[in-house]
Copies of this chain bind each other. A is one copy, B any other.
Amino acid sequence: MDFNFIKAQLNGSNHGKIVLLIMDGLGGLPMEEGGLTELEAAETPHMDALAKRSMLGLHQGIRTGITPGSGPAHLSLFGYDPVKYQVGRGALEALGIDFDLQKQDVAARGNFCTVDEEGRVTDRRAGRIPTEVSERLCKLLNEKVSIPGVEVFLQAVKEYRFLLVIRGEGLQANIEETDPLIVGEKPLPALALDQGSEKAAEIVREFVCQAMEIMKDEHPANMLMLRGFAQLPDWPLFPEVFNLRALAIAMYPMYRGVAKLVGMEALPASHSYEEEIDLLEEQWENYDFFFVHIKKVDSYGEDGAFDKKVHEIEQVDALLPRILNLDPSVLIITGDHSTPSAMKSHSWHPVPVLLHAKTCRPDGIGQFGERACLGGGLGGRFPAYELMPLALAHAGRLEKFGA
C-alpha cells in the first residue's frame, strides 16, 4: 500500500471509530481428517450473528506460504507491508521487553557466553544460565561500565539473553555482529559497516572491553556477544498516515511495543480480557482507533491444546456484546496469524476476518470460521495490509478518487 496515496484520499473526517480486535494465532486446523478447526469448533453465537451482517474473508500477513512472526503480522494489520517495513532485531528485542527505546538509541541483542583463557568461545549460551543470573550480571554491568558521553543500559530478557542499549548523540547502527556463531573462535570485534556507524562501533568495542574485565571472574558466564544492532525505524506514523488517534490495549509488552513503533499510544491490561474491555470503554472518547490484543488463543495453539484454544475463543465471544454496545463504526475481528494446535506453532494458513460496519455489504454467511470465510466478499487470501484502507472507507474517512 502507498501511504501517500491513502493520505491524499483522507477526507479529514474525525468521526467513525474503528476497533481492531486481534485474537493472536486465531487461525487453525482440524486435529484429524474431517474435523473442525478451533474457531469452527468454538461456540460463538455472538460472532456468528454478527457474521451474518458482516463481510468475511481470510487474510495473509506476509506473502503466500510465509509463516508470520508476531511483529510483522501486526505491522501488516496496521497497514504496513512487513516485507517493506522491517525492524532490526535489536529494536524488536527492546519492544518485546517494554524498554522505552528512543530515537538515535542503538540497541542490540546480547548473549552471555563462556570463553576459555585464550578468549575462545566454549559455550555460546553459558550453559543456559537462569534469568536471575542474567539479571544480576546486567545490574553489575549497568553499575560498573562507564563510557564518557553516552549512557549504556543492559536489561535481562530470558536465560542467557539480554538487551544492550547505547544512548548518545550521532549514533548509527550499521555494525558487524560479534557472535562468531561457532565455538572455538574468539568473539569478533564490533566493526562499523559504514562511516556513519564508526562512533557507535567504537563505543561498542569499548563496552565489550570493559565488560570482559568486569566479568572475568564470573562463571560460567564470563563474556558476552552482540547481534542485530538496530535503531528505531524512521517510518510514516500510523496516526499521521491515517489521521487516527490510535490506542493499543494489550497484556503483553511485545504487542504494545509494535503498536508504539508505528506511533500508537499503548495501555497495559494486566489481568484479564475483561480489563481490556474496561479500558476500551474508559478510553472510548479519547481515540478513533483501538487495537485490542488477546494473547492466549495463540499460547494454547502453541501448546497443542485444541480444547483450551476453543474455550479461549468462546470467552472472547462472550465479550463481544460489550464492544458492540460502544457502537463502533467499524469492527474488525481477526487474528495476526494462524497457530494450529495440530502444529503447535505459527503457520502460513490464511486467517479468518470479519469486518462489520453499517455501510458494509453483508455476505449473508451466518458463521465465523475458516471455511465459512472462504465464501466472503473480502476474498480468501488477501493481504492483511489492505484491511486499513477498508476500515477507513467503511468509517467514512476516505474521499472519492477523481471526478
Residues of chain A having any CB pair with chain B under 8 Å: 5, 9, 29-30, 33, 37, 53, 58, 62-73, 82-83, 86-87, 89, 92, 96, 343, 346-350, 359, 361-364, 370-371, 374-382, 386, 389-394, 398-403
Contacts and interface: CB of A to CB of B under 8 A. Distances in A.
A68 B377 contact: no
Contacts of A375: 374-375
B58 A377 contact: yes
17 contacts: A30-B362, A33-B362, A37-B361, A64-B382, A65-B391, A65-B392, A66-B389, A66-B393, A67-B399, A69-B403, A71-B403, A73-B402, A82-B401, A92-B403, A346-B400, A348-B393, A350-B377
A118 to B, nearest CB: 32
B370 A64 contact: no
Contacts of A346: 400
A385 B10 CA distance: 24
B371 A363 contact: yes
B92 A398 contact: no
A190 to B, nearest CB: 22
Contacts of A33: 53, 362
A12 to B, nearest CB: 15
B347 A71 contact: no
A388 B346 CA distance: 20
B380 A378 contact: yes
Given A347-B359, A380-B378, A381-B377, A400 B65 contact: no
Contact of A402 (B37, B68, B376, B402): B68
A349 B378 CA distance: 11
A4 to B, nearest CB: 11
Contact of A64 (B350, B371, B389): B389
What DSSP secondary structure best describes chain A's contact surface?
A: loop
Contact of A359 (B9, B29, B379, B394): B29
Contacts of A62: 401-402
Contacts of A399: 67
Enumerate the 4 nearest inter-chain pairs by beta-carbon distance, A residue then B residue, closest first.
A69-B402, A65-B389, A65-B393, A72-B402
Contacts of A92: 402-403
B67 A398 contact: yes
A79 to B, nearest CB: 11
A68 B402 CA distance: 7
A30 B402 CA distance: 26
Contacts of A9: 66
Given A5-B83, A359-B29, A371-B364, A386 B69 contact: no
Given A361-B37, A379-B379, A379-B381, A400 B67 contact: yes
A252 to B, nearest CB: 13
A80 to B, nearest CB: 12
Contacts of A67: 393, 398-401
B377 A86 contact: no
